[in-house]
Amino acid sequence: MAIERSEHDSGPNDSGGDDYDIVIVGGGVSGPSAGIYTARAGMDTCILDRGPSSLARCAYLANYPGFPGGIDVPTFRALCRAHAEAAGCRYISDMVVSVRREDTGDDDQDRIVEDGANGEDDENEDGGRTSGNFLVETADGRAIETPRVMIATKDDTTYLEALNDEAMFVTESYGGETARYFDSEYVDDDGRTRVPGLYVTGPLSGCLDQAITSAGHGATVGFSVITDWLVDRGYPRALARGYWDWLSKAKTRSDDWTEHTRAFVERSVPEDASDERIERLVAELRAHTDALFIPEAEVTRRTRRGHRRLLEHIDDAVIEAYLDDRADDE
Ligand SMILES: Cc1cc2nc3c(=O)[nH]c(=O)nc-3n(C[C@H](O)[C@H](O)[C@H](O)COP(=O)(O)OP(=O)(O)OC[C@H]3O[C@@H](n4cnc5c(N)ncnc54)[C@H](O)[C@@H]3O)c2cc1C
């Protein structure tokens, strides 16, 4: 649905400027995981990454599925970044120093969703989740305006103080010292907060503090963002919630899809939806579905490309030694 790129793993963001649908603060595990989904959905996605990193302190990753011998952290981080870039994210090595509402003259507190706090606003089923832009300022002097920000920094949230919402933080005392922390209760299960357009992912939002659960949570919050973005673009929420990112074998496709698509749209739109709106949604949904089915030859092409991309991250000397050992064995 609403996929604007014909191939799902396209090259880096081609917007050319600093015009992003979402800025993700943090490129550890949860940030790139979310960005892979948002970029593949067609959102212009920027990941800013520099500063304290939980992952960088891990000595060796032995429990992330898919790596039977474990994986060293620098290689894992490089793979996460390369994957996010291949999906279309723009990765910038820069540290965020403040996130605040762009000055519109409104009181920031007025833009907090009290009733729909920590979740989708059911009163406003088809309403969007954004309300004006954020201004993301960085150590290197960038000032990026964006309607959505996702926080994916486990260890640093000082830059959120500029949003002026005390409910975000809790203060605890230990042995006469007080410390201020980001309150994970501020975030709902899907990563939304009571500030429209502000999302939080990873252990900071209360998910289990492991790399794989952080990646999984990043994906969940990525889907929340995509749903809200589609609603902002005129999709009924029921339809936006039906977005998925699967690839299927073309030979398994049946003609029923065409009928399913129309029925799904007609079930989801309000009764007074115009024919024009219905046709636009059906056409977009069909285009999305078409891109999800790939023929066998394309599976083969992607398999080779995927293997090569993995090899790019392995030391040539290790590859050569492996080939020599295999030749000796034969
Ligand atoms: C010592 C140690 C060992 C661990 N060992 C394991 C293990 O063996 N297995 C396992 O599964 N998990 C392990 N973990 C937990 C795992 O590292 C975390 O659960 C996971 O990294 C959290 O991912 P994240 O992306 O949310 O945060 P992080 O990994 O902390 O990534 C956040 C990213 O944001 C960037 N950043 C921070 N502040 C800013 C800012 N202001 N602006 C821009 N960018 C910013 C950082 O540079 C970093 O790249 C370990 C953690 C520690 C501390």
Print the domain residue range for 211: 1-237
Q: Give, using CA atoms, the residue closest to atom 20 of ligand 1.
A: 211
The Cα 247–Cα 206 span in angstroms is 31
| 137 occurs within a structural domain | yes
Q: Which atom belonging to ligand 1 lies closest to the Cα atom of 31?
A: 25
The pLDDT score that the predictor gives to residue 11 is 37
In a domain, 277, yes or no: no
Whose C-alpha lies nearest to ligand 1, atom 53? 54
Q: Which residue did the predictor score with more confidence, 29 or 244?
A: 29
Residue 301 in this model has a pLDDT that exceeds 80: yes
Q: What angle do CA 104, 106, 107 make, to 5 degrees?
A: 135
Binding site membership of 149 for ligand 1 (Cβ less than 6 Å): no
Indicate whether 188 belongs to any domain.
Answer: yes
Query: Distance, CA 158 to ligand 1 centroid (Å)?
Result: 16
pLDDT given for residue 253 in this prediction: 78
Is 10 inside a domain boundary? yes
Contacts with 309 (C-beta within 8 Å, 6 or more apart), sequence order: 82, 86
> Considering the domain boundaries, does residue 91 fall inside one?
yes
Task: Give the closest residue (by CA) to ligand 1 atom 35.
Answer: 26
Q: How far apart are CA 190 and CA 198, in angstroms?
A: 12
Of all protein residues, the one whose alpha carbon is nearest to atom 31 of ligand 1 is: 28
Lowest mean pLDDT, pick from 103-107, 146-150, 201-205, 270-274 = 103-107
Beta-bridged to residue 149, according to DSSP, are 23, 198
Work out the percent of the chain whose per-residue pLDDT is above 70.
85
Q: Which residue has the higher pLDDT, 254 or 33?
A: 33
Assess if residue 296 is contained within a domain. Answer: no
* Residue 25 domain flag: yes
3-state secondary structure string across the chain: CCCCCCCCCCCCCCCCCCCCCEEEECCCCHHHHHHHHHHHCCCCEEEECCCCCHHHHCCCECCCCCCCCCECHHHHHHHHHHHHHHHCCEEECCCEEEEEECCCCCCHHHHCCCCCCCCCCHHHCCCCCCCCCEEEEECCCCEEEECCEEECCCCCCHHHHHHCCHHHEEEEEECCEEEEEECHHHCCCCCECCCCCEEECCHHHCCCCCHHHHHHHHHHHHHHHHHHHHHHCCCCHHHHCCCCCCCEEHHHCCCHHHHHHHHHHHHHCCCCCCHHHHHHHHHHHHHHHHHHEECHHHHHHHHHHHHHHHHCCCCHHHHHHHHHHHHHHC
The minimum-distance atom of ligand 1 relative to the CA of 212 is: 11
**Is residue 330 predicted with pLDDT exceeding 50?**
yes
The structure's pTM equals 0.91
pLDDT band of residue 273 (cuts 50, 70, 90) is very high
Does the residue 81 lie in any domain?
yes
Q: How many structural domains is the chain composed of?
A: 1
- Determine the pLDDT at residue 114: 52
CATH of the domain at 49: 3.50.50.60
